[in-house]
A = this chain, B = another copy of it.
Amino acid sequence: MSEIKALVHDVFGTVVDWRSAVIADGQALGARKGIAADWERFADEWRGAYAPSMNRVRSGELPWTNLDKLHRMALDTLLDKFGITGLDEADKEWFNQTWHRLKPWPDSVPGLTRIKRKYIIATLSNGTVRLLTDMAKHCGLPWDTVLGSDLVEHYKPDAEMYRAAIHFLGNDDPGSVMMVAAHNNDLVRAASHGMKTAYIARPYEHGANQTRDFKAEHDFTHVAAGFEDLATQLGC
C-alpha cells in the first residue's frame, strides 16, 4: 500500500463556490450598466453549458478549445438568450474572467493550509493553468503547483488528466496520489486509475437546484464534511 505524497483537487464546486461569485459579478455588471436580469439563473445556465461544451471537445466535435474560450462561447449564447444588450467587448471579457476570480468555501483555505504542511497540494482541474493561478492569487489558495487541462489538452474525466497527476506528482505510482472532489464521478474515475480518493460534501454547490452529489455514493478512501475535516482525518 503506497503512502500518500500528493493530493490533487477538483476546483470548481469542491474548493470554490463558483455560483455565488458568478451571481455577484453578474449583479455588479448589471448595476454598472443598468441591466436587469435573473443573474442566479444566468449563473446556473452558464455552468450548465460546462459539461456539454467540454463533451464537444472530448468527443472530437471541436478541436482542443480551452475553458476560457468555452466559457466565452457560452456567455455569448446566453447574453443573446437572456436578451442582454449594451455590453461592449471589455465588459464581456471582464465577465468571462469571473471564472478566474471565484471565491473559496470558508473551510478551503484553512484546511488546505493545514494539509500543505504534510502533503503536496495541487489542482487537477479543467481550468487552464493561468485561470487556476489567477484564482489562487485572487483568493489566497496555497497550492504547491497547478495542474490544468491545457497541460495535456484533455478534460476530465479523460484518462490523460488522471495519468498526468500520477506521472508528474506521483512518479508514476498511482497510490501515492489522492484525488479530492465533491463529485462522485470524478472520484470513481480517479479510483479506476489506482488513485486514492477523498470526497468533500458540497450540498449547496448548485444552491437550491442541486440534484446530485449530496453524499459519497462509493467506498472512497476518505469522506469529509470539508477541508478542515479532511485535514483532521489526515492527521494534519
Which residues on A are within 8 Å of B, measured CB to CB?
116, 120, 122, 128-130, 132-134, 136-137, 143-146, 148, 150-151, 167-171
Contact = CB atoms under 8 A, between A and B. Distances in A.
A144 B133 contact: yes
A140 B137 CA distance: 17
Number of copies: 2
B144 A168 contact: no
Nearest to A116: B137
Contact of A168 (B120, B150, B168, B169): B150
Contact of A171 (B130, B137, B148): B130
B133 A145 contact: yes
Contact of A146 (B134, B145, B170): B145
A43 to B, nearest CB: 24
Contacts of A134: 120
A91 to B, nearest CB: 19
A129 B177 CA distance: 14
Given A143-B145, A169-B130, A137 B151 contact: no
Contact of A133 (B136, B137, B148, B169): B169
Contact of A129 (B137, B145, B148): B145
A136 B144 contact: yes
Given A120-B133, A129-B168, A130-B171, 17 more contacts: A120-B134, A120-B137, A122-B133, A128-B168, A129-B169, A130-B169, A130-B170, A132-B145, A133-B144, A136-B144, A143-B144, A144-B146, A145-B145, A145-B146, A146-B146, A150-B168, A151-B168
A148 B134 CA distance: 19
A160 to B, nearest CB: 13
B137 A144 contact: yes
